[in-house]
Amino acid sequence: MKEVLKRISDTIWEIPISYKEGMRVPARIYGTEKLISELDEGVYEQVTNVATLPGITKYALCMPDGHFGYGFPIGGVAAMDVEQGGVISPGGIGFDINCGMRLLVTNLTYKDVKPYIKTLVDRLYERVPAGVGSSGFVKISRNEFRQVVEQGAHWCVENGYGWNEDLEFIEENGCIKGADASKISEKAIDRGFNQIGTLGSGNHYLEIQVARKKDIFDPELARMMGINTPDQVVVMFHCGSRGFGHQVATDYLQVFLKVMESKYGIKILDRELACAPFNSPEGQAYFAAMKCGINMSYANRQVILHRIREVFSEIFGSSPEDLGMEMVYDVAHNTAKLERHVVDGKERSLLVHRKGATRAFAPEMEDVPYPYKTIGQPVIIGGSMETGSYLLVGVPTGDQTFFSTAHGSGRTMSRTKARKTWHGDTLQKELQAKGIYVRSTSARGLAEEAGGAYKNVDNVIEAAELAGISKRVVRLTPIGNIKG
């Protein structure tokens, strides 16, 4: 397969439309030569399948952390022209709708936190439920849950789970407009209404981190995002819409499979790319339901933020305000959003699917929060629990990917192989010896998330920066971690 790749630059590789019958646009994969050499073959098939979807514009894209997924590769980006028959596809969004990252700062340093790290992690492990099927402490009725999925983080703030100013630092201000609870199934509500404030399982985590002076690449940008003290402690977490989002995706995949060919004459190369025209009744119903998944996830992360503030306040005997526990940003990486982008000199209305990819808007773009208007949207990219994570910003040259970038380090090994390679209990001891205290719901789950099962996050970030799709600001080192 690699022999058909055309090298566009040191970090951009293209598969021409001649590679596969039905491709409407070329496919482009981002990565250094090293990352491309390690890429699993399935990504090539998936990204070129995406290139056959109706309405796709310019390119089918795969980010530097790309790996095999469901339908789209994880790290996949595709922009559909909704005025030219563009489709919407759950496989291009993901089952965990609005899986995303949230980062908050503190005015504490590593020296302040080090004596309490075990207590902090243990207490957070108690307060933020993790693992498959975990339930949160927010007890609401099914009807109240319908309000949550239409109001997102706003519902949380109105009910005492956060500060008004938090909303400014969330994509869509914590509530995407157009969510319609009448478009979601009772089964989806069953799976979601008791899961607000929970991490879930898999690669989801809550991590206490340190911004070491040597890892600040742009001190001025870091300062503008609240990181201005040597060895400053921050908290990052990664989770999504849990079983609710999974059920929404499952429901509409079945709907699309029934109508896609019989009603709309759309033929696809992979059933996992089931889709419908965006402007069809089915497409619009899924779009409204998917937005409910986005809002549920914003609410989920908002309640987790509230619990983190509670724990730090209790342990350090100061209010969250006095501890400087302010949000940096909350970014999504499993969404489809209607955006205006310039393509071939003309502004067009595009539905941008980002599946395991992060929006990375440039300075002065609409929807970049006012405090960051001059520097670009913050981008939060998580690495493995053994390595580190990054805070970046969007850049003007990001227009080549519809202002999208990577979302993580990206798996290189299946969960099954990881379990055979590492033992969770041994791994936990090894991490503690490195100064990282970890709690996990299972040794099996910990083994699945071993650092060696992922690409080197530094290589991924280097590729994203060299390609001009985001800019490094700070590297963040883990000292405490809770795994789902």
Binned at pLDDT 50, 70 and 90, residue 2 comes out as: low
Exposed, middle or buried by CB within 10 Å (0-12, 13-18, 19+), for 345?
exposed
Which residues, in sequence order, are CB contacts of 187 under 8 Å at separation 6+?
Answer: 247, 251
Can you tell me the distance from the alpha carbon of 338 to that of 354, in angstroms, rounded to the nearest whole number? 11
Binned at pLDDT 50, 70 and 90, residue 453 comes out as: confident
| Catalytic annotation present for 407 | yes
Q: Chain centroid to CA 90: how far? A: 15
Confirm if 342 and 396 have CB atoms less than 8 A apart: no
Q: 241-285, pLDDT tens digit by residue?
A: 999 999 999 999 999 999 999 999 999 999 999 999 999 999 999
Determine the pLDDT at residue 136.
81
Binned at pLDDT 50, 70 and 90, residue 1 comes out as: low
Choose the catalytic residue: 154, 238, 246, 407: 407
Query: What's the average model confidence in pLDDT over 373-377?
Result: 98
Confirm if 338 and 310 have CB atoms less than 8 A apart: no
Say what the pTM is.
Answer: 0.96
* Pair of tokens at residue 40: 């699993």
- Specify the DSSP class assigned to residue 71: S
Query: What's the average model confidence in pLDDT over 115-137?
Result: 91
Nearest to residue 98, comparing CAs of 180, 176, 206? 176
pLDDT at 328 over 70: yes
Please count the helices (runs of H) and the strands (runs of E) in the chain: 14, 19
Q: 281-324, pLDDT tens digit by residue?
A: 999 999 999 999 999 999 999 999 999 999 999 999 999 999 99
Can you tell me the distance from the alpha carbon of 312 to that of 318, in angstroms, rounded to the nearest whole number? 8
Which residues, in sequence order, are CB contacts of 478 under 8 Å at separation 6+?
Answer: 207, 208, 209, 385, 386, 387, 388, 389, 436
